[in-house]
Amino acid sequence: MAKNKLQKQEILRDLKAKMAKAKSMVFASFNALTVSDNEDLRDQLRAEGNEYYVAKKTLLNLALQEAKLTGIDAKNFQGQLAVVFGYEDEVSPAKVVAKFAKGHAKNLEFVGGILENRFIEPAQVKELASLPSKQELYAQVVGTINAPVSGLVNALAGNLRNLVYVLNAVVAKK
């Protein structure tokens, strides 16, 4: 059903607000995805602090231009287009869509994205999806910081253990 001018302005305002708030965006073509699959993807994205939004390419182009994100023409993308807004984590939208796409390879694929106000190609979005999540990176940093401390503790414990062995040997000899 065609939308009137007021509805289109409302959608445009909504898109601009979402773009301003988002840390990253992923564009995905979702041809032949069933309604239940679409809803399942929305739920998975929502659980990670992301939002799945479908809009006409013309309105999306207008919103991109008004947000000063140039060099992107949504009309060049094939098929139906969805935008996934990442509000909490830059990597999360790409990771969730990539994980979901494994089971729906023919029906869902990356067509690009926006990271740090620059357009990124589908291959770059796939690379982004392969990065560890923020929580995994935090765990790696903590492990890296903890490694020298635990090494020092083990070295000191080893010296004490060796001292006890020497003292036991001396006692056993006497």
Question: Under CATH, what is the fold of the domain 5-131?
Answer: Alpha-Beta Plaits (3.30.70)
Q: CA-CA distance, 61 to 74, in Å (whole number)? A: 6
Per residue in 130-155, pLDDT (tens digit) is 888 778 888 888 888 877 877 777 77
Is pLDDT at 1 greater than 70 in this prediction?
Answer: no
Q: What is the pTM of this model?
A: 0.74
Per residue in 58-84, pLDDT (tens digit) is 888 888 888 887 777 777 787 788 899
Map out the domains of the chain as residue ranges.
Answer: 5-131, 132-174
Give alpha helix (H) positions in the chain: 5-21, 35-47, 57-66, 92-103, 122-130, 134-173
